[in-house]
Structure 1
Amino acid sequence: MKYALLDRGDRLSRELAEQFHTMAKERGLTRDDQAPDIVLSIGGDGTLLQAFHRYRDHVDSLAFVGVHTGHLGFYADWQKDELPELVELMAKMEPTTVSYPLLRVEIITDSGTNVYLALNEFTLKSVEGTLVAQLNINDEPFEMFRGDGIVVSTPTGSTGYNKSVNGSIIHPSLEALQIAEIASINNRVYRTLGSSIILPKHHHCDIVTAPEEPLAIGIDHLVMQFDEVRSIICTVADEKVRFARYRPFPFWNRVREAFIGFDQNDSSASWKRKK
C-alpha cells in the first residue's frame, strides 16, 4: 500500500501527520507522493479539497481518506484520536471504495478554453457588483439571471454553499448537477425560476455573460478572475472521485451528524420514533 499525506499546516495537524508516518512505516506502508494508492488528508474538509486538486489528474487511480482534527468533517471518516486504528486497517485490509460524481466546468474566453474539475461546486459572481447572465439548458434559453451569483454543485457539494442558498441535498449515487441562485432579483426584465434546478448527467447548462464583464469564478476553494468570457459550460464529469472506506459511514448518517447532531441514544428521540 502506497500513500500520500497532506495536512492543514497547523501544529496539531503536523503532529498527527508525523505520528501517522511513524506508525505507517512500522506497519509496512510506503510513502509515495507521486503515485499513491491512498491520499490521506489531516485537517478539515478544506484540506481534503486541496488534496483532491493536487491529485485531480490521477483520480481514476487513487482514493481519498479524511482525518478531521476538530469536529467530524463531512468528508472525514476519522477523528484525530483514531489514527492507530486507521493505520492498522490500512495495513491489513483492502478498503471498500465509493465513487462520487464530479463537476466539469468549461470556461470559454476570447483567448482560449479552460477546463476544471470540481469536487464541491463552481461559483460565478461579477467582480464589479451585480451579475447578469443568461442560463441555457441543453442549448435552449431558459432564464435571464440578475443577482449576486450562481452556484453549480455536485451531489456531495450540495451540502455546502448550495445548501446555504436553499438548494436541495442530493445523494451522491445520483449522477447530477444542481444550479442554485444567490440572491436573485426578479422583475419584468429579469425573471428566474426562484428555486434550484437539478440536471441529470446527459444534460448540460451554458451560462452566458457580457464579454466585457470581469468575473470572479470559484472552483471549490480556488478563486480566479476571468475577463472576456464568452460562455461557461457545466456538465457532470466523466471522471469520478473515489473514497476509501475502512468502516461503514452511510451518506445520510454523515448528513445527520453534520447538520442535525441526532443522538441515537437520546431518549426523547427514541420516544418520538415509537410514537
Structure 2
Amino acid sequence: MSKNVLIFSNDKPESQDIKMRLVKHLKNAGGLIHEKDIAPDIIVSIGGDGTLLSTFHKYIEFVDRARFIGIHTGHLGFYADWQGYEVQELAQAILESDGESISYPLLNIEIDLIDGTHYNQLALNEFSIRAISGTMVSEIYIKDHFFETFRGDGICVATPTGSTGLNKSLGGAVIHPRLDAIQLTEIASINNRVFRSLGSPMIIPRDEWFELRPHVHSDHKEMIVSIDNMTYSDKIISCVKLSVAQERIHFARFKHTHFWDRVKHSFIGINDNDSMDKNPNNYLK
C-alpha cells in the first residue's frame, strides 16, 4: 500500500546517506515522498533525539494525524527504534504497515507576556523557566488554587516521555507515557525558616493544570524559557498555564521498543548476567 512519507534529517553525512538510501528504497517499492499539498502518513526523523524534537516542532501541524519514526544516528536515541543498517527493512515495513500506532501525551503551554502578547505551544518533552541572574520568584497555582510561592533557580514541567530528561536530573520520577499526566519539579529551591516550598516533584492528571506567575522586578525582568530544544531569553512572562494537551504524538507501532526497555538501555545499560539482555528481540516488543 502506497504511503506518503516525509523525511527530515540532520546535516551529518551519515544521516544524509541514510536519507538518500531510504528515499531510494521507498521509491523502488512504490512509496511516495512527501509533497507539500498532501498531508504525510508517516514522518521519519534521522538523527538523535534533538533531531526528532526539531522534526516534531517543524511539522507540528501534522502531529495529530501522522505517525513518527526515528532512525538513530545520535548519541542516545531514546525515541529512535531503527538503526541505519535497517533502512531496507524499514522501507518495506512502512509500505506494508496498516496504520497501527502508539500515542504519547504532549504538554500544552499557554503563555501571557507582560506586553499583552498571548500564544500557545506544544512540547514533547518539557517546559522550563529559569532566572537569568539572581533568584526566581513565582507563585504556583494548581487548577486555579494557590499552592505555594517558589523561590530558587527555576521550574521544570515535563511530559511522561520528557520525564527521563531534565526532570530526571532534578530528581523527578520517571513516568510511563500511558499515563496522561504532567510533572513539576523545582530547580534548586530555597527552603529555610523564612521561605518554604514543597521541594518534591508534583504529578497531576489530565483534568488539572499548573499555572506559574513569576514576579517581575525592575532589576530582574528577563528569564530563560525553554520549550524542548528551543530556548528564549527575550520573553518577559506574566503567566504561563501548563496542562496535558488535547493533541497527542503518534509513533508507528511496528518495532516500537517498550518504554521500560528504553529507560534501561539509556540509563542502566546492558547487563551480561540478565538473560533478557542476551536476546535483543526481547527489546523490540
TM-score exceeds 0.5:
yes
2:270 aligned residue (259, 262, 272): 262
Amino acid of the structure 2 residue aligned with 1:97: S
Partner of 2:166: 161
> Unpaired runs of 5+ in structure 2?
277-285
Matched, 1:214 2:222: yes
Q: Deviations over 1:5-36 (max 9, x none)?
A: 11111111111111111111101111115321
Aligned pairs for 1:178-257 within 5 A? 178-212=183-217, 213-257=221-265
Partner of 1:38: 42
Aligned residue for 2:274, secondary structure, equals helix
What is the distance in 2 between the residues matched to 1:197 and 1:226? 28
What is the distance in 1 between the residues matched to 2:235 and 2:26? 47
What is the distance in 2 between the residues matched to 1:33 and 1:69? 25
Moved more, 225-234 or 158-167: 225-234
What is the distance in 1 between the residues matched to 2:196 and 2:45? 43
Amino acid of the structure 2 residue aligned with 1:27: A
Amino acid of the structure 2 residue aligned with 1:18: M
Question: 1:2 touches 1:32 (CA, 8 Å); kept in 2?
Answer: yes
Q: 1:199 to 1:235 in 2, by over 3 A?
A: same
What is the distance in 2 between the residues matched to 1:215 and 1:181? 15
Tell me by how many angstroms 1:129 deviates.
Answer: 3.2
Question: 2:111 touches 2:120 (CA, 8 Å); kept in 1?
Answer: yes
Taking every aligned residue pair, what percent have the same amino acid on both sides? Answer: 43
Aligned pairs for 1:20-169 within 5 A? 20-34=22-36, 35-71=39-75, 73-109=77-113, 110-169=115-174
Question: 1:208 touches 1:232 (CA, 8 Å); kept in 2?
Answer: yes
Amino acid of the structure 2 residue aligned with 1:164: S
What is the distance in 1 between the residues matched to 2:88 and 2:17? 14
Q: How many residues align?
A: 268
Q: 1:3 to 1:260 in 2, by over 3 A?
A: same
Task: State the TM-score, normalizing by the size of structure 1.
Answer: 0.93
Amino acid of the structure 2 residue aligned with 1:32: H
Question: 2:49 touches 2:76 (CA, 8 Å); kept in 1?
Answer: no
Tell me by how many angstroms 1:160 deviates.
Answer: 0.7
> Unpaired runs of 5+ in structure 1?
none
Amino acid of the structure 2 residue aligned with 1:244: A
Q: Deviations over 1:192-214 (max 9, x none)?
A: 11111001010011101123421
Aligned structure 1 segments of 4 or more residues deviating by more than 4 angstroms: none
What is the distance in 2 between the residues matched to 1:247 and 1:226? 42
What is the distance in 1 between the residues matched to 2:35 and 2:122? 21
Q: Deviations over 1:33-88 (max 9, x none)?
A: 53211110000010000010011122121010000014551100001111111011
Amino acid of the structure 2 residue aligned with 1:101: P
